[in-house]
Amino acid sequence: MGVSYKKLWKLIIDKDMRNVEVRKSAKISPATFTKLKKNEVVSLGVLLKICKMLECDIGDIVEVVNEVE
């Protein structure tokens, strides 16, 4: 099982925002934001910060996907 943040990137585009704007507003480190770009697991706290900033639900920014081995 893995995670995909495709929904996050689409939401950022739909809200006409830039990635750096989201990162700074949500107070997320550049290293953590890089993890998001690589579809790596981040803490629930990070996801909640993003949700609060974007005024959305967790399901709007992340989904669990089956990884092919």
User: What one-letter code names the amino acid at 57?
Assistant: D
Residue 45 is predicted with a pLDDT of 96
Does 68 have pLDDT greater than 90? Answer: no
CATH code, 55 = 1.10.260.40
Alpha helix ranges (H) inside the chain: 6-14, 19-25, 30-37, 44-54
Dihedral angle over CA of 61, 62, 68, 69, nearest 10: 130
Q: How confident is the model at residue 41 (pLDDT cuts 50, 70, 90)?
A: very high
Question: Which residue bears the tokens 């890089």?
Answer: 34
Kindly state the DSSP code that residue 43 receives in the 8-state scheme: -
Domain extent at residue 24: 2-65
Non-local (6+) Cβ contacts of 28 within 8 A are 22, 46, 49, 50
Provide the whole-model pTM. 0.89
If one counts the domains in the chain, the total is: 1
Mean of all residue pLDDT scores within the chain: 94
Residue 5 is predicted with a pLDDT of 97
Q: How confident is the model at residue 69 (pLDDT cuts 50, 70, 90)?
A: low
